[in-house]
Amino acid sequence: MLRPLQPDDPREVGPYRLRNRLGRGGMGQVYLGVSPGGRLVAVKVVRPELADDANFRRRFAREVTAARAVAGFYTAPVVDADPDADPPWLVTAYISGPTLHEAVQQQGPLPPSAIGALGAGLAEGLGAIHAGGVVHRDLKPGNVILAEDGPRMIDFGIARAMDETHTVDILGTPPFMSPEQATGAQVGAPGDVFSLGALLVFAATGQSPFGAGQPQAILYRVVHEEPDLSGLSELPDGLTELIAACLAKDPEARPEVPALLDSLAALKGDTQWLPPGIISMITENRTATIAATKVDPRADQPPAPPPTPPPAKLSWLPALAWTLGACALGVLIVLAAIDSSSGSGGSTPTTTAESDTSTSDYYDTETSSSEDETTTEETTTEETTTTDEETLDDESTDQTPFTLDAFMPDDFTDDSGRHHQYEAGSTRPCTEWASEEVASVLTDNGCSEMLVANFVDDDSEILTTVWVYPFADYDTADTAYNALDAQDFMQLGCWDPNSGPGSGVCDNDVTAADEWQYIGQDHRYVIVAQSKWIDLRSDGSGDEQLKSAASEARSAVGPDNYYGN
């Protein structure tokens, strides 16, 4: 997902010019960048608190060196890095496409015919990674990018630098961790095989084989309970048994990667491996990338430039040089996430909504001007998408893509100072999960498809869900807004992330929980934000904090995010 750079984001890292934010992971921000030779790349910039840790820098340098030795078609290769920079950074090839997590959340589970092809590609990628002496350690749906010609793995090996730095915590993603990783034991190639098995279950069913809920509960099931494979009955003969073997508790009982690859390759079939809905997501992402960078991700790439050490002083490339230099792309990922808007509306206490989402650790950021190396100053004007506000009032003139990328921000900070991070989002039918009263208003005014997304605060205490409903024009949206706002509260259903902070909330009875809801109109869109405590408290003690979160979320989400306003 492409998002505008923020004012405090760097504009250059080493020799790479940054164009957009791609996402944020545990290690730091990730940006879409362009190399001096015109290649699109993903640039990961390490968080300041990690950059200040000398042990982390040493381990990061070691893992980067190992990762750069990995070569394989189904990996996004590490092409450059500077562990000694302040802060350290890492560059990988850019792959234009959704993560597996985003694809499943928006389009549903992959068809049975695609699971063998996905597994074969990832097994081949693991073979290349392991041949380079690297263990992935964090293979999950958010670290797999789907491209038309096969999946790609990202972030392989680098998690170890963080794992060894943070000795108190076990780092990873609980639903996709192996038992040995969950218990803090040594993790090798068999651990990646276990993660691959769990990932294939998710791809086929939309669920982890070890369920949802709090991380410690999931980790207990990973270590002590058998996986739930009940949703795999439609897979080709032999594939369910192969996945079950990958999920053996004993690392020695799991298949080795070469044998696993042979078995999966025999089951992958000969048809187009991705369904039309995901192909459309890839096309949309390519279109957004071209609009943001003037580089076509599918174009042939110029020869890769040799890694360049950072200059003593960085200068901004003028806009003309950028335009001329943009000629093609490399490959990496785009996450999941989206941007924001403004607006106001009435507030009413309300009940909540129903489940499913999550994200990835891939990309992020942007802005500014600077001097060249002579005494002359050159101000670089950033290329942004602009629009006449009135064009947003009618579907026939509104050019805003109806995507999570265009409407949702990476994060927001409410009036109380709480920081809330985007967790997951999806495109769903407008009336899904809604009460009859709400559904009637939406249907009568022609709403067919909505955006829904979750945000969680840094303390994992507040879950905020936002719904975006599009209508044909401003007047229709106004009619729907007034009808919805007149309701005592809007029953919109409960929707939560399927992993990570906030996951499992909707598995409980949420009807009595304290909640706060804001509704507002933004041009031809009606936007509703609703906040609740993740522990579902109902004593009214935190209403002001819920109000602050919902109010700010309502203002942060909308089409202005696409136009950088």
Among all chains, which residue has been given the structure tokens 């890839």?
282
Distance CA 85, CA 75 (A): 25
What's the per-residue H, E or C state across 347-395? EECCCCCCCCCCCCCCCCCCCCCEECCCCCEECCCCCCCCCCHHHHHEC
CA distance 185 to 178: 10
Q: What three-state secondary structure class fits 8?
A: coil
Residue pair 152/333 in contact (Cβ under 8 Å)? The answer is yes
Cα–chain center distance at 447: 26
Task: Please report how many Cα atoms fall inside a 13 Å half-sphere around the Cα of residue 450, on the Cβ side.
Answer: 23
SS3 readout for 304-342? CCCCCCCCCCCCCCCHHHHHHHCCCCCCCCECCCCCCCC
Dist. CA 77–CA 86, nearest whole Å: 23
Backbone angles phi, psi at 23, to 5 degrees: 165, -175
Q: Which helix (H) or strand (E) holds 153?
A: strand 150-153
Known catalytic residues are 138
Q: What is the sign of the dihedral through the CA atoms of 197, 199, 200 and 202?
A: positive
Largest CA distance in the chain: 70
Instruction: Please give the sequence-ordered ranges of beta strands (E in DSSP) within 224-326, or none if there are none.
Output: none
Q: Measured at the alpha carbon of residue 437, what is the angle toward residues 435 and 438, in degrees to the nearest 5?
A: 70
134 Cβ partners below 8 Å, 6+ apart?
63, 66, 67, 69, 70, 156, 157
Tell me if 44 is assigned to a ligand binding site: yes
Q: Which segments are annotated as binding site?
A: 44
Q: Which segments are annotated as binding site for ATP?
A: 44
